[in-house]
């Protein structure tokens, strides 16, 4: 059965204004195709999670972002990447596939079956958020650009997913040795099968990360109370927020998120060419968490998957839900007792300056003060000496 058409999410004006920090290279917008107004404002075509039956496969974007997206600033990527870039980790992308030809992932994609092709573009876009290499023109890069990507089919060619496809994709990714398993789908049914699949992955020390809710809902549909596999024990369920720090008014509202991450007006790569796309939804927020998980697993290879999940959630910025903070997750010192707050390695109050510079400053101040006193004394002594013909007093 062909996938149902979904209504696109349109961010609020404030979110769009914040996303305008994405400077893009000049282009003829007519070549990009019909996209929502928010995407037109920055010149990037929108990536979708599902294609209609009569839609053609996504074409290469003719537009390149030439500045770092707002998402990397919100995540503190510049501080986190020097500590870890995911080297030695394999992140499975269970979704529409990941194009092996994507330049920003060149040489780092291993595909299972036909998952090396991505007609929809969603899986490649998510993989870029996880592990895209930085470009020379300052465009978007992933949190873990040294990680490898394992492309696993978790949807059909048009992007529609079934419980069996997703469960099989999770198990395959775990069997292939992925340390982090990103799942693009959020399914309102399949609790038993997907819970078992997440447990299977956990037994193989793989951490499953999934969106708390779909990126968009079918027309006139209400959100379900839970979506799977995000709601399964052992998985990290992720919700999204935009450049203004809030969720779009028309985003599906579901409670129980483990983490929140940037997912609105997100920029990443496409399956062909060097151009970029813009996307909206919790599935992209989950991709950011998967990238951060790869960073943590690379920096702390001794930690099992459950402890990596704990580190990500307990070191997150305190909010409701907690917001992903990759740097804190990499550097936090957690207590032994679960549920306690992390103690950051960095001091809450800046330490006093080193003794040597402080000593130099005191010496310099003393010398300076002495010079001032000498000048003042000279101003008094010299005129008096001249008046006396430089004779001692009393003579």
Based on the domain organization, do 298 and 379 belong to the same domain? Answer: no
Domain assignment present for 196: yes
pLDDT value at residue 358:
37
Q: Residue 393 — pLDDT band, cuts 50, 70, 90?
A: very low
**Per-residue pLDDT tens over the stretch 91-138:** 999 999 999 999 999 999 999 999 999 999 999 999 999 999 998 666
In eight-state DSSP terms, residue 119 is: S
Based on the domain organization, do 221 and 366 belong to the same domain? Answer: no
Least confident of 14-18, 43-47, 86-90, 197-201: 14-18
Helix axes 305-314, 282-299, angle to 10 degrees: 120
Judged against a pLDDT cut of 70, whether residue 278 lies above it is answered with yes
Domain assignment present for 1: no
What's the token pair of residue 372?
A: 């001032």
Based on the domain organization, do 392 and 264 belong to the same domain? Answer: no
Q: Which domain holds residue 47?
A: 13-331
pLDDT value at residue 249:
77
pLDDT value at residue 314:
96
Q: Residue 307 — pLDDT band, cuts 50, 70, 90?
A: very high
pLDDT value at residue 137:
67
Based on the domain organization, do 237 and 135 belong to the same domain? Answer: yes
Domain assignment present for 249: yes
Helix axes 163-175, 191-203, angle to 10 degrees: 0
pLDDT value at residue 42:
59
Domain assignment present for 5: no
Q: What is the mean pLDDT of residues 200-205?
A: 98
pLDDT value at residue 264:
93
Judged against a pLDDT cut of 70, whether residue 64 lies above it is answered with yes
Q: Could you check whether the bond before residue 39 is cis, i.e. omega within 30 degrees of 0?
A: no
Q: Return the number of other C-beta atoms located less than 10 Å from residue 6's C-beta.
A: 17
pLDDT value at residue 336:
61
**CATH assignment of the domain containing 152:** 3.40.50.200
Distance separating alpha carbons of residues 75 and 288, to the nearest angstrom: 9
**Per-residue pLDDT tens over the stretch 315-354:** 999 999 999 999 999 999 887 644 433 333 333 333 333 4
Domain assignment present for 7: no
Domain assignment present for 220: yes
**Per-residue pLDDT tens over the stretch 14-47:** 444 444 444 343 322 222 233 333 433 358 999 9
Based on the domain organization, do 215 and 104 belong to the same domain? Answer: yes
Give Cβ neighbours of residue 392 (< 8 Å, ≥ 6 apart): none
Q: Which residue has the higher pLDDT, 179 or 2?
A: 179
pLDDT value at residue 366:
44
Are 285 and 261 a contacting pair, CB within 8 Å? yes
Judged against a pLDDT cut of 70, whether residue 3 lies above it is answered with no
**Per-residue pLDDT tens over the stretch 154-193:** 999 999 999 999 999 999 999 999 999 999 999 999 999 9
- Cut 0.85: pTM above it: no
Judged against a pLDDT cut of 80, whether residue 301 lies above it is answered with yes
On average, the pLDDT of the chain sits at 81
- Bridge partners of 266, per DSSP, are 279
Judged against a pLDDT cut of 80, whether residue 1 lies above it is answered with no
Domain assignment present for 148: yes
Based on the domain organization, do 22 and 156 belong to the same domain? Answer: yes
Based on the domain organization, do 318 and 373 belong to the same domain? Answer: no
Based on the domain organization, do 364 and 320 belong to the same domain? Answer: no
pLDDT value at residue 18:
46
Judged against a pLDDT cut of 60, whether residue 373 lies above it is answered with no
pLDDT value at residue 218:
82
pLDDT value at residue 231:
97
pLDDT value at residue 82:
97
Q: Residue 66 — pLDDT band, cuts 50, 70, 90?
A: confident
Give Cβ neighbours of residue 212 (< 8 Å, ≥ 6 apart): 186, 227, 230, 237, 238, 239, 254, 256, 257, 282
Q: What are the DSSP E strand ranges found in 130-283? A: 148-153, 180-183, 207-211, 235-241, 259-262, 266-269, 276-279
Domain count, the chain: 2
Distance separating alpha carbons of residues 313 and 235, to the nearest angstrom: 12
pLDDT value at residue 14:
44
pLDDT value at residue 72:
94
Based on the domain organization, do 323 and 365 belong to the same domain? Answer: no
Give Cβ neighbours of residue 220 (< 8 Å, ≥ 6 apart): none
- Bridge partners of 323, per DSSP, are 260, 317
Judged against a pLDDT cut of 80, whether residue 356 lies above it is answered with no
Based on the domain organization, do 252 and 374 belong to the same domain? Answer: no
């Amino acid at each position: 059965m062909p996938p149902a058409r979904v209504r696109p999410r349109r961010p609020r004006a404030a979110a769009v204004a914040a996303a305008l920090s994405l400077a893009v290279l000049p282009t003829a917008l007519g070549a990009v195709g019909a996209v929502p107004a928010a995407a037109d404002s920055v010149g990037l075509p929108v990536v979708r999670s599902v294609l209609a039956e009569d839609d053609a496969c996504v074409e290469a974007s003719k537009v390149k972002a030439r500045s770092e997206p707002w998402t990397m600033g919100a995540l503190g990527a510049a501080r986190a990447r020097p500590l870890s870039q995911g080297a030695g980790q394999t992140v499975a992308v269970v979704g529409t596939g990941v194009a092996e030809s994507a330049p920003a992932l060149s040489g780092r994609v291993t595909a299972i079956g036909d998952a090396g092709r991505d007609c929809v573009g969603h899986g490649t876009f998510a993989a870029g958020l996880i592990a895209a290499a930085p470009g020379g023109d300052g465009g978007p890069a992933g949190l873990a650009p040294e990680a490898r990507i394992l492309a696993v089919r978790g949807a059909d060619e048009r992007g529609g997913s079934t419980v069996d496809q997703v469960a099989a994709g999770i198990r395959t990714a775990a069997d292939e040795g992925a340390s982090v398993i990103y799942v693009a789908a959020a399914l309102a049914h399949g609790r038993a099968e997907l819970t078992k699949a997440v447990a299977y992955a956990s037994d193989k020390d793989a951490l499953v990360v999934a969106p708390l809710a779909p990126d968009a809902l079918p027309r006139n549909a209400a959100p379900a109370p839970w979506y799977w596999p995000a709601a399964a024990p052992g998985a990290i369920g992720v919700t999204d927020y935009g450049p203004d720090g809030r969720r779009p008014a028309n985003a599906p509202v579901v409670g129980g998120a483990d983490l929140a991450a940037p997912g609105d007006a997100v920029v990443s790569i496409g399956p062909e060419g060097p151009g970029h796309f813009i996307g909206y939804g919790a599935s992209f927020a989950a991709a950011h968490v998967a990238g951060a998980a790869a960073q943590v697993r690379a920096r702390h290879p001794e930690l099992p998957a459950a402890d990596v999940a704990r580190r990500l959630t307990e070191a997150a910025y305190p909010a409701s839900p907690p917001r992903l903070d990759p740097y804190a997750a990499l550097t936090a010192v957690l207590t032994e007792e679960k549920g306690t707050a992390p103690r950051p390695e960095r001091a809450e109050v800046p330490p006093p300056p080193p003794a040597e510079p402080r000593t130099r400053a005191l010496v310099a101040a003393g010398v300076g003060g002495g010079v001032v006193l000498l000048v003042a004394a000279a101003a008094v002594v010299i005129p008096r000496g001249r008046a006396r013909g430089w004779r001692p007093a009393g003579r």
